[in-house]
Amino acid sequence: MSVRRAGLPVAVTMRHNAHYVEEIISRSGAAIGRMIPIEQLQPNLDQPRKDVGDLRGLTDSVKEKGVLEPLLVRYLPESEKYMIISGERRYHAARAAGLREVPCIEKDADDAEALELALVENLQRKDLTPFEEADGVQALGDRFGLTHEEIAQKVGKSRSSVTEVLSLRTIPDAVKAYCIELGVLSKSQLLQVARQPSEVKMRDVARRFALGMVNREQARAERNPEKKARPAIFRYVPPTKDFKLMLRFRKNSIEKEDIIQALKRILEQLEAET
């Protein structure tokens, strides 16, 4: 009897350990892990990640230990080469390190599936900025018509996390550039920026975050100021319950003496009318 692995994902995860390989094989029966000459690989022109970033650290690691995580590729009969679905940074680092071949997992995928896998893999990177993550989530949802819940399942996040990160796309481009310039790039800070009612407020909160003049809790409190205090109310019901008395004061805090003075004025007015 086969044993289901704990945590087996509904969608294909992009961390290529034995667990991942078994999932690929169980779906298509055609996934093959093997070494492929680096000259037979070609980058994906539709790869959602356009900037591979600084590769110096990864290149040094590849020189010392090799490529530890296989690239995911698909075969293109027309060019007799393998297009990279995920693993572009490892590919470029391997070339820079002078490797002649790299470990790959071959996947039989059409254009749409290859793009989906690339988008999902891109979103599971740990070095994404919140803005990059928001753009990737939006692209995945738009391209494949996915709900927030479906996106969450594919990328291994909660639905609320997906909804939150998408809210960052409401930040105008000019404010995004301002936040990047100031170094305000933590997701918690940017969420508070996004929740401000105007671009002016967004810029102000970002500036104060950068200067250390406000923290996340203070920004949240400013966005949601406490409701205006309710007026104080005094209620009285006698044991006989034959009447009820309610006094509503304009101020929100009263003392016993305030109640006594109010009752005295009522009595004085009633006595004057008799």
Task: Please tell me the distance from the alpha carbon of residue 119 to that of residue 106, in angstroms, as a whole number.
Answer: 18
Q: State the catalytic residue, choosing from 22, 88, 113, 199.
A: 88
How does DSSP classify residue 78? T
User: From the CB of residue 106, how many other CB atoms can be counted at a distance below 10 Å?
Assistant: 21
Task: State how beta strands 32-37 and 101-106 pair.
Answer: antiparallel
Alpha helices (H) in the chain, listed in sequence order:
18-28, 56-65, 88-97, 111-123, 130-144, 148-155, 159-167, 173-182, 187-194, 199-211, 216-223, 256-273
Q: Is 88 a catalytic residue?
A: yes
User: Residue 196 gets which letter from DSSP?
Assistant: S
| Residue 23 CA: distances (Å) to CA of 19, 29, 73, 74, 88 | 6, 10, 16, 16, 22
SS3 72: strand
**Alpha-carbon separation of residue 38 from 42, 82, 96, 102 (angstroms):** 8, 9, 11, 6
Alpha helix (H) residue ranges in 29-106: 56-65, 88-97
Contact 165, 137 (CB under 8 A): yes
Using CA atoms, how far residue 87 sits from 68, 105, 125, 221, in Å, is 11, 11, 11, 43
Angle at 20 between CA 19 and CA 26, to 5 degrees: 90
Q: Which amino acid is at 26?
A: S
Bridge partners (DSSP) listed for residue 84: 73
Name the residues annotated as catalytic: 88
